[in-house]
Structure 1
Amino acid sequence: MSHACQCHTSEHDLMPAPYSIMTIEKHTPLEWTFRVQTDLPAQLGQFVEVSLPLVGEAPISVSDCGDGWMDLLIRNVGKVTSALFAKHPGETIWLRGSYGHGYPIDTFRYQKLLIVAGGTGVAPVKGLLRYFSEHPEEIEQLDMILGYKNQESVLYKREMPLWRETHHLTVTLDEGQSDGPYRIGRVTEPLQELDIRDIHATRAIVVGPPIMIKFVVQMLQDKGFKAEQIWVDYERRMACSTGKCGHCRMGNIYVCVDGPVFNYAQAQNFID
């Protein structure tokens, strides 16, 4: 049985190690994908801590991975990420991880799957979209609803033709003009229109800002989804990645250790 990443979980190493940048893909002025040459164990949906000596460290989701490489979508929003944007292919960055729990890909295989993601929340599911687009025989049906602020902020434009060819893709823009493959509006609008004929045989993944997750999950439940059919991905300030610092704590849950991917049967009880 094939897997999305040619790697498996193992004991986490708390010491960062140097790895070489293979390529940098610039999606927008603020969001670039760094492909790093690494054999770190990883699952789609987990995260790593990316650091630069004398600068700092930041948690970054594993957006895709394979045999000897890992993709990290990095948004330039602070000191560490700004320093990363000054790097070039062939130079070195430091990683430790991977941490947390990723997506249970075997649970989705040969099922009907609905993915609703917004903004940089598309990054944690990008590897799943790639995998099931390259292996369409391993998924019964895949519906993707991806939302962005405007046309300039759309990520993964290069990959979208394959996603459209193999599955059902809808891309929404919060603002701007309806142009080509995009439609104006929120992700909740095509979701409301989506005719899901077999709710009980469908699984759903929701990733994005907390307010988006809240409304999308509520809409899914109104459509008849049970909590155990829904997975959510929570992004918090995962500073230590070991459940010690408490920055990502939600009640008695530590997102860095217990997540960031949760089944909603558990997540619906979280106290934020």
Structure 2
Amino acid sequence: MNPVCQCHPSDHDLMPAPYSILAIEKHTAQEWTFRIKTDLPAKLGQFVEVSLPLVGEAPISVSDYGDGWMDLLIRHVGKVTSALFEKQVGEHVWLRGSYGNGYPIDTFRHQKLLIVAGGTGVAPIKGLLRYFSEHPEEIEQLDIILGYKNFESVLYKQDMQLWDYVHHLIVTLDEGQADEHYRIGRVTEHLQHLNISDMDATKVIVVGPPVMIKFVVQMLQDKGVKAEQIWVDYERRMACSTGKCGHCRMGNVYVCVDGPVFNYAQAQCFID
């Protein structure tokens, strides 16, 4: 007898249901992508709650999805994620969601778009990069700056070949040696010298550590980019998905409910 609960995910949007693992891709020692067999509705930029019975629950950004599957980048950092790293293909994890808002893709279509992401902050925009790389006719221009600590921490190495072929990609390392694929320095150093024509008509997405978001947005505004042209992703603030625990609160805003993606015209008023 199969001991896995067969409750249907639509029975209640806060009720987790079991889904099987289709594949596991090991990017680094600490970051793996789990492809889950699921029909949960999702938008790029949203998140799901991943749980294991008797272990706990953790909010994870949807890094990509398609017909019958969803990709989740899991970082080995705590009790739940440690237990997930012991799972094998074919075994089950429990999901509920998807929650929050997503990236306004229709706003970016046929526009100039700049994406700046750091570390595991690349995960929430991975699906967006895939989409515009497979449909380049839907974006006027796409510039991408991705920042990592070192070569060992780089995510999506295979995917970046397509992103770089179709669009303009810069990958930076905080430490190491530069070569034909990687540059050395913080993302802000390369943003400073990025030559983008018509910056006042360029849309921007920034996602990563809070300190990175702060300085990237400041530099963009120094370049004349208006707050309403910028979207920030506070996916690191996600918690219970309902706003009840209060861990995601920023002033009067609850990231789990109102975010995690915000236009900076609104986000610049948040009290953290």
Q: State TM-score, norm by structure 1.
A: 0.95
Residues 244, 23 of structure 1: CA spacing in aligned structure 2 closer, same or farther, 3 A cutoff? same
Are residues 1:71 and 2:85 paired?
A: no
- C-alpha distance in structure 2 between counterparts of 1:30 and 1:205, whole Å: 25
Q: In structure 2, what is the equivalent of residue 232 of structure 1?
A: 232
Give 1:223 shift. Answer: 0.8
- C-alpha distance in structure 1 between counterparts of 2:11 and 2:25, whole Å: 30
Partner SS for 2:164:
helix
Cα contact 2:59–2:240 (8 A) shared by 1 = no
- C-alpha distance in structure 2 between counterparts of 1:216 and 1:255, whole Å: 20
Q: In structure 2, what is the equivalent of residue 211 of structure 1?
A: 211
Give 1:267 shift. Answer: 0.2
- C-alpha distance in structure 2 between counterparts of 1:225 and 1:144, whole Å: 16
Q: In structure 2, what is the equivalent of residue 161 of structure 1?
A: 161
- C-alpha distance in structure 1 between counterparts of 2:153 and 2:35, whole Å: 20
Q: In structure 1, what is the equivalent of residue 6 of structure 2?
A: none
Partner SS for 1:74:
strand
Give 1:236 shift. Answer: 3.9
Give 1:207 shift. Answer: 0.3
Q: In structure 2, what is the equivalent of residue 4 of structure 1?
A: none
Question: How many residues were matched structurally?
Answer: 263
**What residue ranges of structure 1 are gaps of 5+ in the alignment?**
1-9
Q: In the TM superposition, what are the counterparts of 1:96-175 in structure 2 within 5 Å?
A: 96-175=96-175
Q: State TM-score, norm by structure 2.
A: 0.95
Partner SS for 2:146:
strand
Q: In structure 1, what is the equivalent of residue 29 of structure 2?
A: 29
Give 1:245 shift. Answer: 1.3
Q: In the TM superposition, what are the counterparts of 1:250-265 in structure 2 within 5 Å?
A: 250-265=250-265
- C-alpha distance in structure 2 between counterparts of 1:235 and 1:41, whole Å: 18
- C-alpha distance in structure 1 between counterparts of 2:12 and 2:271, whole Å: 27
Partner SS for 1:169:
strand
Q: In structure 2, what is the equivalent of residue 266 of structure 1?
A: 266
- C-alpha distance in structure 2 between counterparts of 1:239 and 1:188, whole Å: 29
Percent identical pairs in the alignment equals 84
Give 1:12 shift. Answer: 7.1
Q: Structure 1 stretches (4+) deviating beyond 4 angstroms?
A: none
Q: Which amino acid aligns with 1:228?
A: E
Cα contact 1:59–1:237 (8 A) shared by 2 = no
**What residue ranges of structure 2 are gaps of 5+ in the alignment?**
1-9
Q: Which amino acid aligns with 1:81?
A: T
Q: In the TM superposition, what are the counterparts of 1:22-61 in structure 2 within 5 Å?
A: 22-61=22-61
